[in-house]
Amino acid sequence: MSLLTLDRASKRFGNRHALADVSLSVASGEIVALVGASGSGKSTLLRLLAGLEAPTSGRALFHDAEIDGPRPEIGVIFQEPRLLPWLSVADNVGFGLAHLNAVERERRVNRALDRVGLAAYAKTLPRELSGGMAQRVSIARALVGQPEVLLLDEPFSALDAFTRTDLQDHLLDLWREDRPTLVLVTHDLDEALVLADRVVLLAGPPGRIFAERPVALARPRERTSAAFQEEKRQLLSTLHAARSGRIYEPEVLEVP
């Protein structure tokens, strides 16, 4: 059964066509990676699922109900940590828990900080964190509400290779614990192959789905293994084939 669905969703900004007739369904517990060139509408697609934008036509559904705004079951992690600079790490993580009493809030915040390994930094201000630590705090902030879905827009792209692989492993650990559904935008094929069950390629503008490919690697995945490299080679050739139009011939779309 599909947890998240885009049903012929289009998005227009003025006369700029960001997404055209995109249909996608994501099963519960699945990890989907969105890849594609700059401007192909990846962020826009994610923002439709997050309820931060409404589709111009078509529908975005969660559990078969229209997504008409951000909702507690769907957490979002942006490319930048977006921590509120005037709040401590703990207050940032607990930002969305204002409805809980202080004791319960602190318990959840501590647990979330524990899970990203930053329990010792609860009282620190964001400006004193490194980029990787700040992004971990933003992961903790998204996790603290125990969302069913986590949407991530190039969450690790600003980080160095070491921190990036660390955080990828970390995300997988978190995923193994309570199996949230993950939809992740990335420019990094290794990242897509380490994390995802399925890779979806967008091209545009106007953004549309060009190709899809399940990742046939058993978990845990070894980045250096021959099977991994072979999978990457095949994914690359799929991408190239798709871009040269052999798999999918994009019709030229008239923008009125």
Partner 1 sequence: MTTEVTSYAAADQKAVAPCPAGGLRRLARVGLGLVLPLVLALGWEAAARTGVITTHLMPPPSTVAAHIVQLFATGEIWDHLVATLTRMALGFGFGVAAGTVLGALVGYLPVAHRLLDPSVQALRNIPSIAWVPLFILWLGIFETSKITLIAVGVFFPVYMSLAQGFASVDRKLVEVGRVWRLSAFDMIRRILLPATLPTYVIGLRGGLGLGWMFVVAAELMGASEGLGYLMMDGQMTGRPAAILASLVLFAILGKLSDFLLVTATRPMVAWQDGFRR
Ligand X SMILES: Nc1ncnc2c1ncn2[C@@H]1O[C@H](COP(=O)(O)OP(=O)(O)OP(=O)(O)O)[C@@H](O)[C@H]1O
Residue ranges in contact with ligand X by CB under 6 A:
13, 16, 18, 36, 38-44, 205, 207
The nearer residue to partner 1, 20 or 109, going by C-beta atoms, is 109
Residue 54 interacting entry, from Mg ion, ligand X, partner 1, none, C-beta within 5 to 8 Å by type: none
Closest distance to partner 1 from the beta carbon of 52 (Å): 6
Residue 68 structure tokens: 């008409």
Residue 248 interacting entry, from Mg ion, partner 1, ligand X, none, C-beta within 5 to 8 Å by type: none
Tell me which residue has its CB nearest to Mg ion: 43
Number of residues that bind Mg ion (CB under 5 A): 1
Nearest-angstrom CA–CA distance, 90 and 82: 14
The nearer residue to Mg ion, 184 or 242, going by C-beta atoms, is 184
Residue 43 touches Mg ion, criterion: CB under 5 A: yes
Comparing C-alpha atoms, which of 75, 1, 12, 8 is closest to residue 205?
A: 12
The nearer residue to partner 1, 116 or 196, going by C-beta atoms, is 116
The nearer residue to ligand X, 43 or 135, going by C-beta atoms, is 43
Closest distance to partner 1 from the beta carbon of 217 (Å): 32
- Residues lying near partner 1 in the complex (CB under 8 A) are found at 50, 52, 69-72, 75-76, 78, 80, 82, 84-87, 95-96, 98, 125-127
The nearer residue to partner 1, 53 or 231, going by C-beta atoms, is 53
